[in-house]
Amino acid sequence: MIVDDEINAVIVKPFPHGVKLHAIIDACHSGTVLDLPFLCKMDKSGKYVWEDHRPRSGAWKGTSGGEVISFSGYDDDQISAETSALSKITSTGAMTYSFIQAIESGHGNTYGSMLKAMRTTIHKKINKPGGGKLPSLISMLLPGGLFRGGIRQEPQLTASDQFDVFSKHFSL
The phi, psi pair for 48, rounded to 5°, reads -135, 160
Average pLDDT over residues 133-143: 42
Name the more confident of 153 and 96.
96
CA neighbor of 31 nearest in space, from 76, 79, 61, 71: 76
Average pLDDT over residues 106-110: 91
The Cα–Cα gap between 21 and 32 comes to 15
The answer to whether 15 and 69 have CB atoms below 8 angstroms apart is no
Fill in the DSSP letter of residue 170.
Answer: P
* Range in 40-44, 73-77, 137-141, 161-165 with the lowest mean pLDDT: 137-141
Where residue 29 falls (left for φ over 0; alpha for ψ -120 to 50; beta otherwise) is left
Q: What is the pLDDT of residue 19?
A: 93
Mean of all residue pLDDT scores within the chain: 80
In tens, the pLDDT along 142-155 reads 443 333 344 567 88
Q: What is the pLDDT of residue 29?
A: 67
The answer to whether 157 and 75 have CB atoms below 8 angstroms apart is no
Query: Which stretches does DSSP call E strand in the chain?
Result: 20-25, 38-42, 48-52, 67-72, 82-83, 92-93, 156-159
Name the more confident of 172 and 168.
168
pLDDT of 119 above 60: yes
Average pLDDT over residues 29-47: 86
pLDDT of 86 above 60: yes
In tens, the pLDDT along 43-68 reads 988 899 999 998 888 888 888 999 99
Average pLDDT over residues 132-144: 42
Average pLDDT over residues 103-116: 93
Average pLDDT over residues 1-11: 86
Q: What is the pLDDT of residue 76?
A: 62
> What is the pairing mode between strands 20-25 and 67-72?
parallel
Cβ neighbours of 18 (radius 10 Å): 8
> What is the pairing mode between strands 156-159 and 67-72?
antiparallel
pTM: predicted TM-score of the whole model, two decimal places: 0.79
CA 25 to chain centre: 7
Distance linking the first and last C-alpha atoms of the chain: 29
